């Protein structure tokens, strides 16, 4: 291509092709950026706000303590159930 002399129209066509490709890549980069921004920033922020809202509706720390107490009671009942099974097995 270096040996061949290009006419003004051919040069213009090459410039327009380059500009078209550059525009397409710029659009691709912009769309990719916004998709990644939404996935990596917006969705986690919305999820964490929703989590905090549900956490406070459930009673906050008191709600968690109540849940732990329920788990401890369930563990005690399970321990009693294991003891009954051991006694039946003997």
Distance, CA of 20 to chain centre: 33
| pLDDT per position as a tens digit, 59-90 | 776 766 667 778 888 888 888 888 888 888 76
pTM of the model: 0.52
Place of tokens 């009942």: 77
DSSP 8-state assignment for residue 3: S
| pLDDT per position as a tens digit, 42-61 | 999 999 999 888 888 877 76
Cβ atoms of 90 and 83 closer than 8 Å: no
Place of tokens 């107490």: 69
Place of tokens 């129209």: 9
């Amino acid at each position: 291509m270096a040996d061949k002399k290009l006419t003004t129209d051919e040069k213009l066509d090459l410039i327009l092709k380059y500009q078209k490709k550059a525009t397409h890549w710029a659009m691709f980069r912009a769309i990719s950026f916004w998709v990644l921004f939404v996935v990596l920033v917006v969705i986690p922020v919305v999820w964490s706000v929703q989590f905090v809202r549900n956490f406070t509706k459930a009673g906050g720390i008191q709600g968690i303590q109540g849940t732990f107490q329920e788990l401890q009671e369930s563990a005690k009942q399970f321990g009693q159930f294991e003891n009954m099974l051991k006694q039946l097995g003997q």
